[in-house]
């Protein structure tokens, strides 16, 4: 628990002591407490905290108001929310906090449980690592992309998708990577959108698809077979020539369409619906798999989903991450999985980082699991090495 500085805010003496005792048991070195929101705010303004555990129902200033102040004045790095009220209410306060830029490590019903608290507090380190990463944002220009395409700076990494039961390697997702000799590694978040804005996305997509298919062909020649998933830009779905050139290229490399899955983000399916659906339907007719990506991050509803000719539903990291410490999120996830199964879709959980989440997902019958907990995206040669050396121990450990 390092140097952790934690504040417990609860109007009930008994509950407050209980939470403080749990924190002591977990070895939190610096502990403070406050009886209501107003007193907590005074304390935090004098000295900020790493984590504040907030009870929602309190006199003088309730937890909701306190959390807004903490977020607006950045008085803590993260909060944990407690209540004896309806889980949906607790969860919506959590959503509010995160919308204000305040990370939530857990939203729990009272009484607080030690293992849940421990699991929540452990997230803080990951949070810090993420922050450091997101601060380095560089602008990429259309010209840079053009040069990168010509110079071969763009490559693909591959992230395994494993079955929850048995940990079989069912597929990999290809993820674009840009290794620039001057700027270092540039993330797709920084160049896909620029390519889309400057009319370079088709060029980029073809370039990357060709790399992917070439790689797939090599694996095939070595007798290794698993599905390959490839991300398509929503813009590409409006392109009526897309299906033909994907089919052509796939055939050219001697790959069966059933071995390829095309991923499209949920939000792509909201706008230009008719032409998107036409494109996806034609891909399906030709035998390709179609995955709805980032499901749960946007606003697609079940009815819209049922109209999309998909084979797979990828549940967004936002619904998956820390699900084991958020009981109400678990309910949403469970319903999503059931709905997907009723629509005959294979479910994939994205962004699984913890053992606790992995165990829960397996229990909820999510077929495929993808995330740092099992394997990070890696270059093709690394993937082969990973299959040979890391996969068997992983299976043993998670049996
Ligand atoms: O690894 P990650 O940082 O790899 O990817 C960030 C985002 O970029 C994700 O939303 C992912 O879907 C998207 N992305 C990654 N590779 C590609 C690609 O080849 N094409 C498109 N259109 N999006 C990609
Ligand atoms: O949007 P899409 O699902 O295509 O993007 C996948 C993104 O998620 C990529 O940026 C990939 O690098 C990233 N990713 C994969 N596994 C994990 C994980 O366990 N945690 C986090 N934070 N990101 C992940
Ligand atoms: Mn994807």
HEC readout, 352-377: CCCHHHHHHHHHCCCCEECCCCCCCC
Query: Ion ligand 3 — residues with CB under 5 Å?
Result: 231, 263, 293
Range list of H helices, 286-353: 302-306, 317-320, 327-342
- pLDDT greater than 90 at residue 363: yes
Tokens of 332: 């949403």
- Determine the pLDDT at residue 98: 80
CB-based contact 333:315 (threshold 8 Å):
yes
Structure confidence by residue, pLDDT tens digits, 164-175:
999 999 999 999
Beta strands in 122-196 (DSSP E): 154-163, 169-180, 184-186
Going from the Cα of 173 to the center of ligand 3, the distance in angstroms, rounded, reads 7
Structure confidence by residue, pLDDT tens digits, 292-347:
999 987 777 778 888 889 999 999 998 999 999 888 889 999 999 999 999 999 99
294: Cβ below 6 Å to ligand 2?
Answer: yes
The pTM assigned to this predicted structure is 0.73
Residue nearest to atom 8 of ligand 1 (CA): 188
175: Cβ below 6 Å to ligand 2?
Answer: yes
Distance of alpha carbon 3 from alpha carbon 248, whole angstroms: 58
Residue nearest to atom 9 of ligand 2 (CA): 175
329: Cβ below 6 Å to ligand 1?
Answer: no
Going from the Cα of 289 to the center of ligand 3, the distance in angstroms, rounded, reads 13
Structure confidence by residue, pLDDT tens digits, 135-162:
445 578 888 898 999 999 999 999 999 9
Structure confidence by residue, pLDDT tens digits, 101-135:
888 888 888 888 888 788 788 888 777 766 555 54
- pLDDT greater than 90 at residue 253: yes
Read off the DSSP letter of residue 344. T
Range list of H helices, 141-200: 142-151, 188-197
Q: Report helix, strand or coil for 243.
A: helix
Residue of 155, 231, 234, 370 to mutate, ligand 1, most atoms within 8 A of C-beta: 231
293: Cβ below 6 Å to ligand 2?
Answer: yes
Distance of alpha carbon 160 from alpha carbon 175, whole angstroms: 11
Please give the average per-residue pLDDT across 75-80, as a whole number: 94
Tokens of 30: 């610096």
Is omega for the bond preceding 255 within 30 degrees of 0, making it cis?
no
Among 98, 99, 193, CA closest to 145: 193
- Specify the long-range contacts of residues 40-44, CB closer than 8 Å, at least 24 apart: 40/7, 40/9, 40/66, 41/66, 41/69, 41/75, 43/7, 44/7, 44/70, 44/73, 44/75, 44/76
Residue nearest to atom 15 of ligand 1 (CA): 175
- Nearest atom in ligand 1 to the alpha carbon of residue 265 is 12
Among 140, 87, 163, CA closest to 330: 87
371: Cβ below 6 Å to ligand 2?
Answer: yes
Residues 6+ apart with CB under 8 A from 220: 254, 255
Going from the Cα of 321 to the center of ligand 2, the distance in angstroms, rounded, reads 11
Beta-carbon count within 10 A of 126 CB:
16
């Amino acid at each position: 628990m390092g140097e952790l500085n934690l504040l417990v805010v609860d109007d009930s003496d008994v509950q407050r002591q209980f939470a403080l005792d749990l924190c002591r048991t977990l070895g939190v070195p610096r502990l403070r407490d406050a009886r209501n929101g107003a007193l907590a705010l005074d304390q935090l303004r004098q000295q900020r905290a790493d984590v504040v555990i907030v009870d929602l129902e309190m006199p003088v200033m309730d937890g909701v108001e306190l959390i807004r102040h903490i977020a607006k004045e950045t008085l803590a790095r993260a909060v944990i929310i407690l209540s004896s009220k309806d889980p949906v209410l607790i969860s919506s306060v959590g959503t509010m906090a995160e919308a204000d830029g305040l990370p939530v490590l857990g939203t729990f019903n009272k009484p607080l449980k030690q293992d849940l608290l421990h699991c929540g507090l452990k997230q803080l380190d990951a949070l810090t690592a993420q922050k450091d990463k997101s601060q380095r944002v560089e602008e990429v220009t259309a010209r840079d992309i053009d040069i990168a395409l010509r110079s071969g700076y763009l490559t693909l990494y591959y992230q395994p998708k494993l079955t929850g039961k048995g940990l079989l390697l069912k597929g990999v997702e290809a993820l674009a990577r840009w290794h620039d000799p001057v700027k270092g590694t540039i993330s797709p978040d920084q160049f896909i959108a620029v390519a889309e804005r400057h009319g370079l996305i088709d060029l980029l997509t073809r370039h990357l698809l060709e790399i992917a298919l070439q790689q797939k062909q090599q694996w095939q020649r070595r007798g290794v077979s698993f599905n390959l998933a490839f991300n398509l830009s929503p813009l590409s779905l409006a392109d009526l020539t897309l299906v033909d050139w994907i089919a052509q290229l796939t055939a050219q490399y001697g790959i069966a369409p059933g071995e390829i899955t095309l991923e499209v983000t949920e939000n792509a399916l909201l706008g230009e619906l008719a032409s998107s659906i036409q494109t996806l339907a034609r891909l399906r007719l030709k035998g390709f798999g179609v995955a709805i990506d980032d499901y749960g991050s946007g606003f697609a509803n079940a009815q819209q989903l049922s109209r999309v000719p998909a084979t797979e539903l990828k549940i967004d990291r936002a619904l998956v991450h820390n699900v084991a410490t958020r009981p109400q999120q678990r309910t949403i996830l469970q319903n999503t999985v059931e709905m997907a199964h009723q629509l005959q879709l294979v479910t994939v959980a994205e962004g699984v980082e913890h053992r606790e989440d992995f165990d829960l997902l397996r229990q909820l019958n999510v077929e495929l699991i993808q995330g740092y907990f099992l394997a990070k995206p890696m270059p093709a040669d690394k993937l082969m090495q990973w299959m040979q050396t890391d996969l068997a121990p992983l299976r043993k450990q998670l049996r």
